[in-house]
A and B are shown apart, each in its own frame.
Chain A
Amino acid sequence: MNIFTRSYYIYRRLLKAVRLFLLAAGPGIIVMVADNDAGGITTYTVTGAKYGMNLLWFLILLGPVAYYVQEMTVRLGAVTKRGHAEAIFSAFGRFWGWFSLLDLVLTDWLTMITEFIGMTAALSIFHVPRLLTVVIVWLVMGGMIFSGRYWTWEKIALLFCAVNLVYIPAAFIVHPSIKDIAFNSFVPHFPPGGFTNELFFLLMANIGTTIAPWMLFFQQSSVVDKGLHEKDIAFGKIDTAIGAVFTVVVAMVLIIVTGRLIFGQPVDDAAVAARHIMPISRTIGTLIAIGLFDAGLLGAICISLASSWAFGEIFGWAHSLNNKVKEAPWFYAYYFFTLILAGTVVLIPGAPLVLITLFVQVIATTLLPAALVFLILLLNDKKTMGEHVNTRWQNTVNIGIVAVIVIISAMYGISTLFPDMFK
């Protein structure tokens, strides 16, 4: 075989691999980008405004953590052809099954409310009334699933993922020092002032926004609905890794932008950050507001689907995005029920939205260990996973991640309930 024939052969193989990857890609990128939801965007802007670029290294560390956790759901979904809720019921019985399902329902619904809070706050910058924002979101999310095709839904979701990258140009506009970025990205250190209670809370919020129980349920069900098989696991892993890179890049960009423009200013959420930035740079303020709306929308899309899939799996309803509304009425009814209920709460005058946001963080973070423990146990079940069971290296990394998260989640939950305990 001469060099030209060999090159052409390699080229054809690569082309085929890329085509196959594009067919299998989607769930990983969507879940990872949706991970930067309205709460995530708020966490990053607050982190940047409070500590500048000092915590970039921490966010880079969270990228592989998110990858290792989510990658397990790809293998579990592709091997068992079951969603996460069904896998837990089947493996651990009814007690833990109901516990996981009700935990998911509660945290998803509360998180959905925070997504609506983010979206209404983002569009309020452009003087769009809350009611109009909520109705627009209902219509967009309703329209996405009416095609009755998973592929159509996925393409629209990927389009929203692309919009989430609007933050990236902002990082170039603020002309950050490359030397500062490199130092803060690769040299782990705490900001001036050292390790304080406030810093601990913010680090936990960053962890909480990077790994969430709904992500496990969403990606596994998505892998099953898409019809990925064991042979597609490698592509699913690449898909997840690319998504993890996007997550980290968006988080870094937000920290760089807010760290450069509003460092030291009191910022409670991303909408406030956008308002502070508007007088300095209207373009960047607008990009942050658009990005915040998109983040909330993407989060709401994925979270409502995660719950609907889980209920469909357990109650035996038809539960695929490939089903028309008529074919899977309960699945879509639940989807709209959570959507309408969460949107309505935001419209109630005087609703305790700040309390809800705080409650979501505590509940989601303290219940996260349960979801991760189930995941590790499932991935170690040789009978179910066969050759895709966790390797020693994967177990070392994943058990290490879970152990650290269990300890700091417990500390976070306790310190939120009793703020003076660790002072």
Chain B
Amino acid sequence: MLRSIFSNSYAKVREINDKYKTPGIEMSGGVKFALLALRLYLIALIGLSLYKFITLLK
């Protein structure tokens, strides 16, 4: 039963990934810049959190 649930979920996730493969919004310069800035912001924050976590463990 568990195997069936997991395989169904996996298939569903693949279906979702296929459905939303291409962004629907027009990728203008502004949109590209905003998404890039967002990536950098999140990478920086995740990096800081990981650093904090590692230093806490030491």
Is chain B found bound to chain A in the same assembly? yes
Is A72 part of the binding interface, using a Cβ–Cβ cutoff of 8 Å? Answer: no
Is the Cβ of A315 less than 8 Å from the Cβ of B12?
yes
Instruction: Count CB-based A-B contacts (< 8 Å).
Output: 62
Is B43 part of the binding interface, using a Cβ–Cβ cutoff of 8 Å? Answer: no
Interface size class of B (residues with CB under 8 A): 20 to 34
Is A370 part of the binding interface, using a Cβ–Cβ cutoff of 8 Å? Answer: yes
If over half of A's interface residues share one DSSP class (helix, strand or loop), that class is named, otherwise mixed; here it is helix
Is A94 part of the binding interface, using a Cβ–Cβ cutoff of 8 Å? Answer: yes
Is A89 part of the binding interface, using a Cβ–Cβ cutoff of 8 Å? Answer: yes
Count, chain A residues at interface, CB 8 A: 28
Q: Which residue of A315, A369, A410, A414 contacts B16 across the interface (Cβ within 8 Å)?
A: A315
* Given A369-B41, A377-B34, A381-B25, A314 contacting B16 (CB threshold 8 A): yes
Tell me, rounded to whole Å, the shortest Cβ–Cβ distance linking A81 to chain B.
15
Residues from chain A with a CB closer than 8 A to the CB of B31 are 377
Is A90 part of the binding interface, using a Cβ–Cβ cutoff of 8 Å? Answer: yes
Within 8 A of B (CB), among A305-336: 314-316
Is the Cβ of B49 less than 8 Å from the Cβ of A92?
no
Is the Cβ of A92 less than 8 Å from the Cβ of B35?
yes
* Given A383-B26, A417-B49, A417-B52, A94 contacting B17 (CB threshold 8 A): yes
Residues from chain B with a CB closer than 8 A to the CB of A370 are 38, 41-42
Residues from chain A with a CB closer than 8 A to the CB of B37 are 373
CA distance A91 to B27 in the complex (A): 10
Contact with A along B17-58 (1 / 0, CB 8 A): 101111111100011001101100110110011001000000
Tell me, rounded to whole Å, the shortest Cβ–Cβ distance linking B8 to chain A.
11
Residues of B within 8 A of A (CB): 12, 16-17, 19-26, 30-31, 34-35, 37-38, 41-42, 44-45, 48-49, 52
Known: A89-B20, A96-B23, A414-B48. 19 other contacts (CB 8 A): A89-B19, A91-B23, A91-B25, A92-B23, A92-B35, A93-B21, A94-B20, A94-B21, A97-B16, A97-B20, A369-B41, A370-B41, A373-B35, A378-B25, A380-B30, A383-B26, A384-B25, A410-B45, A417-B49
